[in-house]
Amino acid sequence: MTHDELEEAVPLYAAGALDRVERQALEAHLLSGCQSCRTALKDYQSVASLLPFGLSPTQAPRALKSKVMAARNPDPIAIDNLLKESGRPSLEPGEWMNHLVPPIAPARSLSLPWAVGVASVLLVSLAGYVFWTYSTRLSDDAMKIQQLEATVADQSTKIAMLKRDLSFRDRSLADLQIEMQRKANDATEIKSQLLDREVELETTREQLNAAMRGKVPQDEFAALLRRPDAKVVSLAASDVAKGASGVLLYNPVTQKVWLYSANLPECPTGTAYQLWAIDQRPVSVGTFHIDAGEMAHLLVKRLPEFEKARKFAVSLEPAGGRPQPTGPIYLAGQRSS
């Protein structure tokens, strides 16, 4: 027990209301030399000594005298028991405590009932004060515990939110890294395709120059190649014409398109290749025929609606051509904006 708890038990000790364990603890504390508890015990003993005087006198029973007289000659067994009991150390506040805290003889009062009432009120007030203090302390401790629990819960919630935000940011960063890597791969692939297209275009121009010698007017074709406003559309081969290629040149002055195709398969009997300009629907530009052993061919046609067309394609159609594509596509390309 703490000193405060022992000090609160002093009034109950003076009134003889402590149990054995609490009484022994308090007596050991008094014997240790606590001056404040000794002083308090003297004050409470003086008050407790007045309590019997506040009781109403009662007439003794008639048989009490005979019992007292008979007790003057007790039998040996009773005497032995009394001696044995008197030999045991008493735990009640008795004579062995008188040398430590001598009791104060009650002073005679002219108004004994009034004094007893005041003492009772003081004792009850003291007990009430002790109980109020203890209850207030418990209430304050409970409130502090609730505040601490609320603070811990709030901090736990904030920590959980921070962890969730960090996890979300980590996932976003990982997704962003994957997206950046994908775009870098796409850019590398596009760059490689551009290089391939430049090489193909240069090769096609060289082949076109070699094929056009002696077949078309050199002045017009040379002027077309030198014009900065000439439009160029590269045509790629489909699965049915692997190894084939084509390039489409447009002269905005003469409004002519020059289609140079290379490595197209020989046209079967009764068929021909047909060039299409495609916007919302395909429009036929012209047809041409690839004979056996012919590796390249040049088709020149006038096309005023070139700017409207976004895509171009070469398909294999019956001889003479068709108003709409019906055969397989051999070459296809898209005009850049």
Domain ranges within the chain, ordered by starting residue: 3-108, 213-334
Determine the CATH number of domain 213-334. 2.60.40
pLDDT (tens digit per residue) in 166-196: 989 999 999 999 999 999 998 888 887 787 7
Q: Which CATH number fits domain 3-108: 1.10.10, 1.10.260, 3.50.70, 1.10.3300?
A: 1.10.10
Out of 121-125, 138-142, 322-326, the most confident range is 322-326
pLDDT interval class at 318 (50, 70, 90): very high
d(CA 50, CA 114): 11
DSSP 179-221: HHHHHHHHHHHHHHHHHHHHHHHHHHHHHHHHHHTTTS-HHHH
Number of continuous H segments (helices) and E segments (strands) in the chain = 8, 8
